[in-house]
Structure 1
């Protein structure tokens, strides 16, 4: 049951969330592996009869490890910012390191390597993710001093410096890579939002161009009809009829806009959808060459609505549009398991009602790890077997 829950939890994570879990999990795991490995080398050097050094060093390792874990957690949350510093957790790590380092001098000479590595590892790995230059330089200097003090030689101090530089670089490069991936995801979301905003702007421009012109015409015609009526001119009746004709034309164009913004061309709509998805970082495969001419407009409307839903509601990375055997399918890999099957949102619900009058059936829902919008058309007369 737990394995199923874990798989379900993992499948609901986005690619960026998975990278974050993997990166931070690896940092924590390697941190504790390094500390326990250093402690193990200390214990094995102490011999089987030396119980007290093993217990005391184990407690010190756990204390330093816990403090370093808290600092590493705060550094990951702070990244890529360098301030404000997490002084509560950082202070605990610094105090424990300052207390533990001199105690390493009480160990036997062959045990000091492990003791020094515990302190150096906790300091460099725990606080190495902080981007403040003063903290980084201070950590490197402290690790060098600890290694030199415990080892009693310049060579050991140089070894401590080299280890601490490597550990700090490892932590900071991992957090930097995680930051780059997160920034790319934010940029992708921004591009998708911009694409939707541009489509809305195009619609508003269509409304302004069409309805604004018609309403202006009606206003002028109404003023003229009023003037003619005031003078008792018989042409006022003809002018009122012109107003009615213009109003009907405006209503027709408004309905055309509501159905699809403007008369839709399937090839142009597919090309625009591929370009729009590509700008959001989503790869697309489209094969709708077999759509009969009389179905171009309804297919184009479904593709437009399905692509809009992908941009607004999913984390898709790939979309496929296919038409075969009187069925249009728009599939994406950004399935949301929390969304029920049926029709996805008011847009597809409206389309389902409109296409129902043509005998077509619209369905939308998750199928495995894919989300599919499909339209089943009634076979045209030439396709019906005699």
Structure 2
């Protein structure tokens, strides 16, 4: 808040259309409080000096009110710049103002009742308006007591003291409520900016995950096919050219998917992922068993994520000879019979952790670990018919 007001001093000469929403509220709030104070002082002076027969008293009242209100406005602006902090108080502005207000009050007491009442009201309004913006209960209590004492002593009536306390509370509420509203608007603007930054960060994270999932598998395919083509070429096998054409096709497909990722249009298709996994694993000489026809339609995309990452890990980190992909009892399992000890395909791997984080908001879980001396299984729990049904079930259970 303080930064907002301080920065406002740099844009106060700009046109209204050039200001942001927060700057407009800031400017409107501060200028409204200044205007209310000056309007109140003018009203009190007109009412208190209109029937005065003493030109000296009227001149003192008007001159003193002008100086006091100018200094009061300056002190009020310094307090607003400090808000919402309680200290250190702007003594360079408050001390001269309070001294002048005290002298003005002492001088006004010597004049007739009308001018005396106007002076009391002017001093009290300036003090309450200028210092009331300090968010400290002790300051609020001091201003309330000051108002009660000032009104009570000037009129000599207990009811006047109560009225003074009531006016003090009203002034404090007006100033505090205005500054509170400005704080709310500023915090909402900061929250909106933070939300925008978070949305950008989430989109970057989504994009990085998709790049990891898609390009990792494609590059693994290219590596496997290239190695096979190189082996065939060394033997003089004519199939090497066909394998290299497949590598080229995979490279073009990877380029197409990268473009779709950049545009944000790509969606994961389980059938394509399964077919790609079957083709890739068989190209690497790994036997594949598929039994995933019962995966609910609502879980197809999430299941595609799991299949893609699990198959990529099999190619990168395992010595598997066979891989099975099955879905039973609301669990998708990707099992291979040969994970290298200490491989990067551990349960805490970056890729698996990313899939786990993507599944959690959908109500799904992912587990991975060794199920024997050489076996490794990635298990995804996909409850219900899809993410929506799993959320409803969790809400009912809660």
Query: Residue 42 of structure 1 corresponds to which residue in structure 2?
Result: 48
Provide the C-alpha distance between the structure 1 equivalents of 2:88 and 2:188, rounded to a whole number of angstroms: 25
1:22 pairs, out of 28, 33, 47, with: 28
Q: 2:134 aligns with which of 130, 133, 146?
A: 130
Q: Match for 1:163 among 164, 167, 171?
A: 167
| Alignment partner of 1:209 is 2:231 | no
- Name the residue aligned to 2:60: 56
Deviation of 1:229 after TM superposition, in Å, equals 5.0
1:193 and 2:197 are equivalent in the alignment: yes
Query: Could you say what secondary structure the match of 1:96 adopts?
Result: helix
Matched residues in 2 for 1:128 and 1:200: separation? 47
Partner of 1:13: 19
**Residues 116 and 235 of structure 1, relative CA distance in 2, 3 Å threshold:** same
Between the aligned partners of 2:263 and 2:139, the Cα distance in structure 1 is: 61
Sort the Cα spacing of 1:255 and 1:180 in 2 relative to 1 into closer, same or farther, 3 A. Answer: closer
Going from structure 1 to structure 2, the CA distance change for 1:240 and 1:123 (only over 3 Å counts) comes to same
What displacement does 1:171 show?
Answer: 0.9
- Do 2:226 and 2:247's aligned partners in 1 also have CA atoms closer than 8 Å? yes
SS of 2:15's partner is helix
The offset of 1:77, in angstroms, is 2.5
Deviations 1:266-293 (Å, cap 9, x if unpaired)? xxxxxxxxxxxxxxxxxxxxxxxxxxxx
Question: Residues 45 and 62 of structure 2 are in contact (CA less than 8 Å); yes or no, is this contact kept in structure 1?
Answer: yes
Give the aligned partner of residue 150 of structure 1: 154
Q: Does 1:73 align with 2:72?
A: no
Residue of structure 2 in register with 1:256 after alignment: 260
- Contact 2:148 2:165 (8 Å CA) reproduced: yes
2:37 is aligned with 1:31:
yes
Q: Say whether the 8 Å CA contact 2:57–2:115 is kept in structure 1.
A: no
Q: Which segment is superposed worse, 95-104 or 167-176?
A: 95-104
- CA RMSD of superposed structures (Å): 2.8
CA distance, structure 1, for counterparts of residue 219 and residue 207 of structure 2: 17
| Cα distance in 1 between the residues matched to 2:260 and 2:112 | 88
CA contact (8 A) 1:206 1:261 kept: no
- Distance between the aligned counterparts of 2:112 and 2:195, measured in 1? 62
**Preserved CA contact (<8 Å) 1:101 1:150:** no
**Residue correspondences, number:** 256
Q: 1:186 to 1:19 in 2, by over 3 A?
A: same
Determine which structure has more spread, i.e. the larger CA radius of gyration: 2
Extract unaligned runs of 5+ from structure 1: 1-5, 265-386
- Are the counterparts in 2 of residues 83 and 132 from structure 1 also a CA contact under 8 Å? no
